[in-house]
């Protein structure tokens, strides 16, 4: 059984996750405060839009952390939906996290021992 020891973009994941959480919390707070302070405020539309953007930002952050093959897709989701979220903190964190995930290059290790050139890998 092989253990996955591939380096992961932890900083990009953390910033993107925070962007999604701030977007979700901001959507709920803006919807609640807007409907209390301004009569006729379209709080339902704001809540739906912010929730969709926050959830898709969270999905993108999970994709960029969990699977190296889907890192570009996850970073693109984070970038697009943090821009569309209309939340300043979520926008800044999402842009930084998305660009970090998009430009992340995993380190590759090369084995320079003589046993690897003979095709034998010891247990």
**What mean pLDDT is reported for the chain?**
84
What's the N-to-C CA distance of the chain in angstroms?
Answer: 12
- Tell me if 113 is assigned to some domain: no
- pLDDT number for residue 70: 87
Q: Which residue has the higher pLDDT, 114 or 99?
A: 99
Using CA atoms, how far apart are residues 56 and 102, in angstroms rounded to an integer? 16
| In-domain check, residue 97 | yes
Total structural domains in the chain? 1
Q: What does the alpha-carbon distance between residue 58 and residue 25 come to, in Å, rounded to a whole number?
A: 13
Residue 45 or 107, more confident? 45
Q: What is the pTM of this model?
A: 0.78
Tokens of 26: 């901001």
- The answer to whether position 93 is within a domain reads yes
Contacts made by residues 69-76, CB under 8 angstroms, sequence distance 24+: 71/9, 71/101, 71/102, 71/104, 72/102, 74/16, 74/101, 75/12, 75/99, 75/101, 75/102, 76/102
Q: What share of the chain is helix, strand, coil (3-state, %, to 5)?
A: 70, 0, 30
118 pLDDT band, cuts 50/70/90, is low
Residue located via tokens 């900083």: 11
User: What is the extent of the structural domain holding 84?
Assistant: 10-104
Beta strand extents in the chain (DSSP E only) = none
Residue 86 inside a domain? The answer is yes
The residue among 62 and 105 whose pLDDT is bigger is 62
Q: Of the ranges 53-57, 78-82, 99-103, 115-119, which one carries the lowest mean pLDDT score? A: 115-119
Residue 77 lies in a domain: yes
């Amino acid at each position: 059984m092989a253990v996955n020891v591939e380096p992961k973009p932890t900083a990009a994941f953390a910033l993107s996750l925070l962007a999604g959480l701030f977007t979700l919390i901001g959507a709920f707070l803006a919807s609640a405060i807007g409907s209390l302070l301004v009569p006729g405020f379209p709080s339902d539309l704001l809540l739906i839009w912010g929730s969709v953007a926050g959830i898709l930002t969270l999905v993108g952050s999970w994709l960029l952390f969990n699977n190296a093959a889907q890192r570009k897709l996850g970073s693109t989701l984070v970038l697009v939906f943090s821009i569309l979220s209309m939340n300043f903190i979520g926008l800044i964190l999402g842009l930084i996290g998305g660009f970090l995930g998009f430009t992340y290059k995993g380190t590759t290790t090369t084995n320079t021992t003589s046993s690897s050139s003979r095709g034998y890998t010891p247990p």
